[in-house]
Structure 1
Amino acid sequence: MAARRMSSLLSPSYAPALLRSIGYCSGRGIGINKFNTSAALEEPITPPVRVEHTKLLINGEFVDAASGKTFPTVDPRTGQLIANVAEGDTEDVNRAVSAARKAFDEGPWPRMTAYERSKILLRFADLVEKHADEIAALEVWDNGKPYDQATSDEIPLFIRLFRYYAGWADKIHGLTIQADGPHHVETLHEPIGVAGQIIPWNFPLLMYSWKVGPALACGNTVVLKTAEQTPLSALYVSKLFHEAGLPPGVLNIVSGYGPTAGAALASHMDVDKLAFTGSTETGKIILGLAAKSNLKPVTLELGGKSPFIVCEDANVDEAVELAHAALFYNQGQCCCAGSRTFVHERVYDEFIEKAKARASKRVVGDPFKKGVEQGPQVDSEQFNKILRYISSGVESGATLETGGQRFGSNGYYIEPTVFSNVQDDMLIAKDEIFGPVQSILKFKDINEVIQRSNASSFGLAAGVFTQNLDTANTLTRALKAGTVWINCFDVFDAAIPFGGYKMSGHGREKGIYSLNNYLQIKAVVTRLKNPAWL
């Protein structure tokens, strides 16, 4: 997923000093490299932020793992250690769930007025805004995404999402129902209880907001497991939540690995609801564990292989730029990335040449440097996986137009890569690569592209580029995807629901639809002794 471009939240008084410290202002060598140069990356900039929180957050306190174990989180620019983080496992999940259960059953959070909950969420958003610079720097350091992306897109949307859910907190209510008989009938919308949440590494903060925001607005308590690749930002912002007045035990953070901490959370008998964002393969495991335990409801936001359809009436220059952003944003590490670029045969050759030229100009380098469009992949596993897919594309007969290699000699950088002459049965056209690899396919007519777009096990998103309203309407209704963007892509808003068809998951996040994930609906029926007054 990605975020809509927004203005930076750096305060005018502090921003110049921070930007100078990370090489944005003049007077310091920026050292940006186009991907197709042979120059090595410069010495990476030292991030202007300290790592303060590396322990688990349980019952309002930062504590060591019960085992005393830690695991490394590394800088993807270099592969070097950032910090050792407490490694939670089953015992720690048990402690966190116990704290969340007590906070829900006995604590003030679900019993305070919804307005009071709303004020705490708003105070938290204000604190994040105050500390936006440090939070952005920590996210970039741990994940590798460009600093401009973090400050302009993700931190503002994170803040907006919590303010959005704060606004919902005191507007959750049931209905009265006219029944066939002498009864008064009403429905109550009640918090579901302890919510277990597992978030991925590609957008750590945004996934935190998508999960934690609606859960807390509805009055639930939370145990959240971070991705082992990117645990730092969740720990930092959760500290701010307690500064905002969140009671102990309402929000608990367990860092650790999927087979241990994640599995323990998914299968825990005292977790009432589970939400997961990640790969389809892991989603199947999560769903199975939840079913085998207490049949807890599960929402899943999983993988994608989204088509981006460029129709014959397209302005090719505009279509190339939009398709480029749809695929390469966040180093291609987006579940909804437009990773199957379908181009009409009439404009195909022109599109290929311009897409190749655009990718060749993409600026790869240290994400803390101004003008960098693409930083490193998140870790060595993802880096090697992408390179294997690139090799597969070459071996299967696709035409490698540009890129295809490691960039530099340090860190997990990959050249922006473009393939043409891609066929539907190639792995690069079927599998979710999750990297900066654009696969361009040719089509003849609208019926063909509908069939080919839908011939996928995924159905998360789709993009359509056309000036014809009938074409846009036809594709909007025909494509089996949870989101269809027309002449735009990656437009996210707090109110717009997001989720998938088929093996891209089930349930919706963001907007009013996300509240349903964290509420129980109770019908209350009262017999009326004097029905004459009905």
Structure 2
Amino acid sequence: VGAVGSPEEVFSLGHVIGSFSSASSSSVVPCVDPFSEKVIAHIANASTEDVNLAVQCAKAALPLWASTTKQMRQKALHAVADDIERQKDGLAAVETMDCGKPFEESVWDVEDVVTAFRYYADEAAQRDDIQRVDVGDEDYKCHIRKEPLGVVAAITPWNYPMLMAVWKVAPALAAGCTVVLKPSEHASLTCLLLGEIVRKHCPAGVLNVITGVGSISGAALASHPDVDKVSFTGSVPTGRAVAHAAAASAAGPKPANLELGGKSPSVVFADAITTMRIDDIAEWVLFGFAWTNGQICSATSRLLVQRPLYDALLDALRARIAAIRACDPMETGCRIGPVVTRAQYEKVLAHVDRALADGAKIANPGGEHGTLGGNRRRPPSYPTSGYFVPPIMLTNVETTSAAWREEIFGPVVCVRAFDTEAEALALANDNVYGLASAVFTSDEGRADRFEKGIRAGIVWKQCSQPCFCQMPWGGYRSSGYGRDLGAQGLDNYLGQKSVVRYAAAHKPLDWYP
């Protein structure tokens, strides 16, 4: 990729501390291509000593970077974006080899990375550090000063390796913070390359990338006393551990943002076909649960269909699923790739097996191959290698079942019919998560009622999954707290000082005798 050397030369180094450096431990983690099922590189399994060194490098770099003008940071981050854009196809290829998503999806992701760097470079540069506040008393002059929060720990997942990292890295750097990034051990390669690119345009230590097993390096990073802010994206169990570590830090509790899982609903009313073709609705529904091979926290994996449209929509979905091309994810036109690891493959299929044992039915031809059944099976048209799970429609799913209530994190959708608007909203809200939701209806009043009534941080109307840098991203309830993206994404990394000046020094306080 560009001029950073061969994959083995780069990735075996393990982490970035100002510049590439070997980890103190000789322990390594293999990187397995989910399609070929072969080891393509090794990354260092960083120790707690490595984490401490990375944090100290970030801490040492903070005064210089925080005092750099916003315009200089803007220029540096645009240079990072330019560099990433020049290497777009190479970075996308590494992403696909590392996590299995189709190459064309990875290209889209890298383009979004470029957009995020540009957006936050400009958003930070145009802001005033000082906001005047009128408190209604002429004797006092008040303002709010915003300044870099400090050293940020960013702990990120494997489904969007580079993009999820940049959702945190770009605003943090734009705000004047320094960052220690810990990507998932299952997909770290593009984050290492990101570290090398940032190093070319920013001072040493501004971005530090630590790789390895999260239970070691991630835990040490979240609890480190010199980390000022923790930002995490991942599963609910790991999020709980991160929040606990941040709260139990020896230096005292520290703020944490958590973007966690979801079990999001997609609600399709019968009147939707008066403004959209049923085939187009089916494509959005499929996109909602099979995009990124179904491995997306916002997946609209609970499908609620109003009864008059139920059979027709399922027929349209079956046709859409049958037309999907599963192949080498590097090939043009691939629309379903392998899931990230063998363990994830087995986890998804175990969920499906459990659902069938609980009485669910597979409603699409080929979906029966998405079961363990004692032997590994796949549809005849699928490649002979790779951790492929075909898209699966489950019907006859009880609302109390694990399939309906738990995040599967694979291309599996659970389908139920409903009759009334009130029933649909109640079913949509009957879950511990609250990340996202989608509604399809030609009735704008109904869509607005759904928007107000749904307990979710994201509402899509007539679509599913679009995401924009300018719009905040995050959820309610067990889906976490705080928001990435949008203006709030920058505020995450800015501390606030309330400054009050007594402007009537000639007037005594005249309180004590």
| Residue in structure 2 matched with residue 484 of structure 1 by the alignment | 459
Match status 1:175 vs 2:131: yes
Match status 1:103 vs 2:61: yes
| Residue in structure 1 matched with residue 117 of structure 2 by the alignment | 162
Shift of 1:353: 2.0
Report the Cα distance in structure 2 between the residues aligned to 1:312 and 1:168, rounded to whole angstroms: 42
On the 8 A contact 1:352/1:420 being kept in 2, the answer is no
Which among 147, 150, 157 is matched to residue 190 of structure 1? Answer: 147
Shift of 1:267: 0.9
> What letter is aligned with 2:194?
V
Report the Cα distance in structure 2 between the residues aligned to 1:320 and 1:419, rounded to whole angstroms: 15
| Residue in structure 1 matched with residue 497 of structure 2 by the alignment | 522
Runs of 4+ in 1 over 6 A off after TM superposition: none
Report the Cα distance in structure 1 between the residues aligned to 2:384 and 2:82, rounded to whole angstroms: 41
Report the Cα distance in structure 1 between the residues aligned to 2:48 and 2:212, rounded to whole angstroms: 10
Shift of 1:121: 0.1
Report the Cα distance in structure 2 between the residues aligned to 1:531 and 1:495, rounded to whole angstroms: 47
On the 8 A contact 2:7/2:41 being kept in 1, the answer is no
> What letter is aligned with 1:383?
Y
Cα deviation code 1:288-324 (max 9, x no counterpart): 1111112110000000000000001122322211101
On the 8 A contact 1:58/1:95 being kept in 2, the answer is no
Shift of 1:174: 2.5
| Residue in structure 2 matched with residue 214 of structure 1 by the alignment | 171
> What letter is aligned with 1:164?
Y
Which among 337, 358, 380 is matched to residue 320 of structure 2? Answer: 358
Report the Cα distance in structure 2 between the residues aligned to 1:492 and 1:372, rounded to whole angstroms: 22
On the 8 A contact 1:363/1:373 being kept in 2, the answer is yes
Cα deviation code 1:3-25 (max 9, x no counterpart): xxxxxxx9xxx9xxxxxxxxxxx
> What letter is aligned with 1:211?
K
Shift of 1:59: 3.4
The 5-angstrom pairing of residues 310-349 of structure 1 reads 310-315=268-273, 316-349=278-311
Q: Helix, strand or coil: the match of 1:483?
A: coil
Match status 1:404 vs 2:368: yes
Report the Cα distance in structure 2 between the residues aligned to 1:441 and 1:376, rounded to whole angstroms: 27
Report the Cα distance in structure 2 between the residues aligned to 1:460 and 1:342, rounded to whole angstroms: 17
| Residue in structure 1 matched with residue 374 of structure 2 by the alignment | none
Report the Cα distance in structure 2 between the residues aligned to 1:504 and 1:454, rounded to whole angstroms: 13
> What letter is aligned with 2:143?
E
Report the Cα distance in structure 2 between the residues aligned to 1:49 and 1:224, rounded to whole angstroms: 22
The 5-angstrom pairing of residues 34-45 of structure 1 reads none
Report the Cα distance in structure 2 between the residues aligned to 1:102 and 1:371, rounded to whole angstroms: 47
Match status 1:277 vs 2:233: yes
> What letter is aligned with 2:41?
A
Task: Report how many residues are paired.
Answer: 483
> What letter is aligned with 1:62?
F
Q: TM-score, normalised by structure 1?
A: 0.88
Q: Helix, strand or coil: the match of 1:364?
A: coil
Q: Helix, strand or coil: the match of 1:404?
A: helix
> What letter is aligned with 2:124?
A
Q: Helix, strand or coil: the match of 2:460?
A: strand
Match status 1:303 vs 2:261: yes
| Residue in structure 2 matched with residue 474 of structure 1 by the alignment | 449
> What letter is aligned with 2:331?
K
Match status 1:465 vs 2:440: yes
Shift of 1:410: 2.4
Report the Cα distance in structure 1 between the residues aligned to 2:414 and 2:332, rounded to whole angstroms: 28
Shift of 1:481: 0.5
On the 8 A contact 1:199/1:278 being kept in 2, the answer is yes
> What letter is aligned with 1:314?
A
Change (3 A) 1:433 1:60: same
Report the Cα distance in structure 2 between the residues aligned to 1:369 and 1:468, rounded to whole angstroms: 40
Match status 1:500 vs 2:475: yes
Q: Helix, strand or coil: the match of 1:482?
A: coil
Report the Cα distance in structure 2 between the residues aligned to 1:342 and 1:281, rounded to whole angstroms: 27
Answer with 423-432 or 199-208: which moved more.
423-432
| Residue in structure 2 matched with residue 138 of structure 1 by the alignment | 94
Report the Cα distance in structure 2 between the residues aligned to 1:104 and 1:88, rounded to whole angstroms: 22
Report the Cα distance in structure 1 between the residues aligned to 2:242 and 2:68, rounded to whole angstroms: 32
Q: TM-score, normalised by structure 2?
A: 0.91
Report the Cα distance in structure 2 between the residues aligned to 1:258 and 1:50, rounded to whole angstroms: 22
On the 8 A contact 1:305/1:431 being kept in 2, the answer is yes
> What letter is aligned with 2:255?
P
On the 8 A contact 1:390/1:404 being kept in 2, the answer is no
| Residue in structure 2 matched with residue 440 of structure 1 by the alignment | 415
Shift of 1:49: 7.4
Shift of 1:51: 4.5
Shift of 1:195: 0.3
Cα deviation code 1:315-355 (max 9, x no counterpart): 23222111011110010001001100100111111122221
> What letter is aligned with 2:363?
E
| Residue in structure 1 matched with residue 28 of structure 2 by the alignment | 70
Which among 17, 42, 57 is matched to residue 59 of structure 1? Answer: 17
Q: Helix, strand or coil: the match of 1:247?
A: coil
Which among 198, 213, 218 is matched to residue 257 of structure 1? Answer: 213
> What letter is aligned with 1:374?
I
Which among 389, 392, 397 is matched to residue 354 of structure 2? Answer: 392
| Residue in structure 2 matched with residue 427 of structure 1 by the alignment | 402
On the 8 A contact 1:194/1:270 being kept in 2, the answer is yes
* Cα RMSD for the two superposed structures: 1.7
On the 8 A contact 1:360/1:416 being kept in 2, the answer is no
Report the Cα distance in structure 1 between the residues aligned to 2:386 and 2:506, rounded to whole angstroms: 75
Report the Cα distance in structure 2 between the residues aligned to 1:380 and 1:59, rounded to whole angstroms: 31
Shift of 1:81: 0.3
Q: Which runs of 5+ in 2 are unaligned?
A: 370-376, 508-513
On the 8 A contact 1:49/1:138 being kept in 2, the answer is no
Cα deviation code 1:429-455 (max 9, x no counterpart): 111000011211111111011111111
Shift of 1:411: 1.9
Which among 201, 204, 211 is matched to residue 158 of structure 2? Answer: 201
Report the Cα distance in structure 1 between the residues aligned to 2:219 and 2:368, rounded to whole angstroms: 36
Q: Which runs of 5+ in 1 are unaligned?
A: 1-9, 15-47
Q: Helix, strand or coil: the match of 2:272?
A: coil
Cα deviation code 1:24-72 (max 9, x no counterpart): xxxxxxxxxxxxxxxxxxxxxxxx9744422244431211111121110
Q: Helix, strand or coil: the match of 1:424?
A: coil
Q: Helix, strand or coil: the match of 1:341?
A: strand
Report the Cα distance in structure 2 between the residues aligned to 1:88 and 1:269, rounded to whole angstroms: 18
| Residue in structure 2 matched with residue 44 of structure 1 by the alignment | none
Q: Helix, strand or coil: the match of 2:281?
A: helix
